[in-house]
Amino acid sequence: MKENFYALLICILKPDYTIDMSLQVMIDGLFKKENTTIRKPDIEDMIRLKREMTYKEIGEIYGLSKQAVYRRIKRFKEAIAV
């Protein structure tokens, strides 16, 4: 029963969420922080994947946002250029 009230609260605070979305948020957790240890071989793989995939798709594989993938690839390329 408590879960229903929490789902309702999420829907009130985030009007763009549906009941199903808010229940899924409760199951998954509001903020996912899966993989924050990305090493050099991972970034090299990201660069290879970028030829065929979007930043968002790559981010889903590594547990990162599309912006985080973009920044890591950009920083890696800048470090190599120096």
CA distance 75 to 67: 12
Question: What pLDDT does residue 79 have?
Answer: 93
Give the three-state DSSP class for 63: coil
Mind listing the pLDDT tens digit for each residue in 50-68? 999 999 999 999 888 999 9
Mind listing the pLDDT tens digit for each residue in 5-55? 888 888 898 888 888 888 887 777 655 555 568 899 999 999 999 999 999
pTM, 2 dp: 0.56
